[in-house]
A and B are shown apart, each in its own frame.
Chain A
Amino acid sequence: MSTETIIERCEALHEDLYFTAAREWKDAAPGRHVIGHLPIYVPRELIHAAGMLPLGIYGGGDNMEVIQGDAYYQSYICRIPRSTMELALSGRLDFVEGMLFPSICDVIRNLSGVWKLTQPDVYVRYVDLPQNYKSEVGGSFYVEEMREVLAGLEGISGRKVTNDDLLNSIRVYNYNRDLVRKLYQSRVEKPWNIPVTEVYLLMRAGMVLPVEEHNEMLESYLVAASETERPQRDNTRVILNGLFCEQPPLGLIKSIELSGCYVVDDDFILINRWLRENVDDSGDALTNLSEAFLEYSVRTSATYEPERELKGQHLLESIKNSGAEGVIFSAPSFCDPALLEQPMLVDILDDHNIPNIQFKYAENTGQMQPIREQAGSFADSIKLWS
């Protein structure tokens, strides 16, 4: 299969706000259930082990008109909760029986309550991810949180989830993590061969497809990409940072690339790359998931950095590993987590003389020209001065 065919499929999945693929999966056999989750991370292994499909919900994008959702949110709150509400109120999520809201920020936290009040038939769970990274403290808490989520899922399916089910799911997701890492690594090696829009669409596809199908898709893409040689341009290698929740329109991502940048790292759809290493697939599964969370979680603005000296180090490391020449901070308007983190990261980059720029977007930003121009001048200035 060619990269074009695969990406066409991803594009269709991305545009489909009725989540037809997930609906079809559910209808294909009796007793199947779909569980939605918001950014930034939930242990999808739990949902998978319960025989259910995790469905990543990342707002309505720029193709959906938000009519009813606006009645729920003031103008000074980011867009993702209102478009997510629109998805629900317009019946697009009527096949989703459970929703998990991870602890990324107060907007998504409160959205869990909005869901409880407006969707009384749906299982709603706020997933409090630990901000304490000691095994016996944050770890034990997280194991209990996962146990409660599992009990909720078992309540829907009427089936007990065993440790073996969980270990099996860990294996399937470990393979997914391997493939995602490989994809990102291949892009670092040959960014001209693996454009950012394609990586993005592949990551998004992982939000709506069963993981097994996503694994096949990634395998095929990696093979196809390795067999294709696209023309190499004199682009600047950059990292995108701040796009972990509300998603930019695809056009914006394309614009950055078209402006002369090769994106060599990003924080899109972080759930796919949240655990930097694989989870142990023997022994007690919940303990393993918890330990992996404590040890291998990516650092992002939704998490606390206990060591002052380590603040921003993940970004410096990523710059080193990917050979990036600059960082583009791109955050959703009104996003406290991304926007409050940014000045600290900018300071750290400035201390290391790493060029960076900042701009804001919304999922329905329509004007790409200014962003393209800003990114273009950024890329040019790096080429000129470095």
Chain B
Amino acid sequence: MSDSKKKAQVDLSKDVQKDQSQILQKEMIRGNFDKLARADQNPDDKVVYTFVPGNLNELVHCFDVVGNYPEVNALQSAMQKKTGAYVMEAERSGQDEDVCTYVKADLGMMRRGNIGPSGQKVAEPDLLLLSYTGCFTFMKWFELLRHEYKCETTMLHVPYQGDGEITKHMRDYVVKQLKEETIPALERVSGVKFDIDRLRENLRESAKAEEDLVKVLETAKLRPSPIDSYFGAIYYVGPMFSAFRGTPEATAYYKTLWAEVEDRVKRGLGPVTPEGEMGEERYRLVVEGPPNYTSMRDFWKMFYDEGAVVVASTYTKVGGNYEFGFRHDPDNPLETLADYCFNCYTNYNLPQRTDMLEHYMDEYQADGLLINSIKSCNSFSAGQLLMMREIEKRTGKPAAFVETDLVDPRYFSASNVKNRLESYFQMIDQKRQAA
């Protein structure tokens, strides 16, 4: 066993606090699946399906309903290698091979009895809250679910930051929709009257958790970075991006997480990987695009085996971006929900996205940019080749492009991705030597 591996085992066994945040998150997720399973048996428990980008969790929680996130189910099922069969099932029932595989994984899961990643039945929706933020496909996805479930659906149209700014009329439009469409729909379905003070309280909780999340993510500026901001941070953003933002549980989770990461910073440690602590930090990367979930472990291994750590990623901003100062604001409850939606990553225009990558490259002292382009996802992928060239031009650092899919195992070729990454790391070495 190598020295670094031995060290990792020793450190991990000591690192009890790290486990604590993981345990908390597991409990939260399990708790929500339990609620969804109970709701399947109890018609009085109302279930709202919604999306990660533009999720209005603080608002949804005001109505005592149970939230379900089909994207989260899809990615968790992918990690359990179930989505290959779901996607095929959806294709057999008429979905085209070309379309977003998240949608197909969800439809396939539904056709096979809607058994979620926890192994429990996920209750059918009472309301589809179509927060149309940053992705066109969301609209068709919930129209397809509505077609199947014949349930109430409410649309929240969040304008795109086409000009890279949020104007008054964009904000007014979202606030009006919240008042006239979203809140009445939630009241109708739940039978609970909207209480703005309850919303303010939830927003206050969100802001606390957001503060801690930002602190965690910003530690990646250090050398060595104590976290991996892509593979690791996907877990860190889990509660924030799903059914828990705005709850005291989420606040407690982020407090615990921050304490653990702070401790790693004090001890000068690098990130923890599935095989223990990463060895020497050799490459610092910025990553654009979602990960591949069907072979996530293998994918991550290709990085940490080479000493590559991701110091910043855009995917971890897809369900909300807090690093440029935005926090949910209890004093402007509806406006802040609108602003939150505008600031989900795929709602940024391409120049904003490119500027953000450039900022990451500089602030996090990265050696290069890697784009994981997702076959399924037009929202992320269309325009990425230009973004890559822009970053190379602006920073003089090398960039690389790999192509995989989120949840369709047919589009993950381990050997291709590995070869591409190996030659990319060599390219970074050459650049360094030349410098």
Contacts and interface: CB of A to CB of B under 8 A. Distances in A.
A138 interface: yes
A340 B137 contact: yes
A304 B139 CA distance: 7
Size bracket of the B interface:
35 or more
19 contacts: A74-B373, A103-B160, A112-B349, A113-B383, A117-B350, A117-B386, A125-B163, A131-B155, A137-B177, A138-B173, A144-B169, A308-B147, A333-B98, A339-B98, A339-B99, A340-B137, A340-B140, A342-B96, A343-B93
Interface in A59-108: 71-74, 76-77, 81, 101, 103-107
Majority secondary structure, A binding face? helix
Interface string A32-66: 00000000000000000000000000000000000
A126 B160 contact: yes
Nearest to B90: A343
A77 B349 contact: no
A109 B160 contact: yes
Contact of A308 (B146, B162, B349, B381): B146
B403 interface: yes
Contacts of B160: 103, 109, 126, 128
Contacts of A72: 383, 385-386
Given A304-B143, A306-B155, A77 B150 contact: no
A337 interface: yes
Q: Which of A71, A110, A132, A145 counts the most B-chain CB atoms under 10 A from its CB? A: A110
Interface string B79-105: 000000000000001111011100100
A114 B350 contact: yes
A336 B99 contact: yes
A125 B381 CA distance: 20
Interface in B365-407: 373, 375, 378-379, 381-386, 390, 403
A107 B382 contact: yes
Contacts of A306: 155
Contacts of B385: 71-74
A234 interface: no
Nearest to A307: B153
A141 B159 CA distance: 10
Interface residues of A, number: 59
Interface in B163-178: 163, 167, 169-170, 172-173, 176-177
B172 A140 contact: yes
Nearest to A105: B136
Contacts of B208: none
Nearest to B135: A106
A132 B157 contact: yes
A315 B336 CA distance: 40
B141 interface: yes
For the complex of A and B, 3 pairs with smallest distance between CB atoms: A113-B350, A126-B162, A144-B169
B144 interface: yes
B256 interface: no
A131 B174 CA distance: 11
A347 interface: yes
Interface string A143-165: 01100100000000000000000
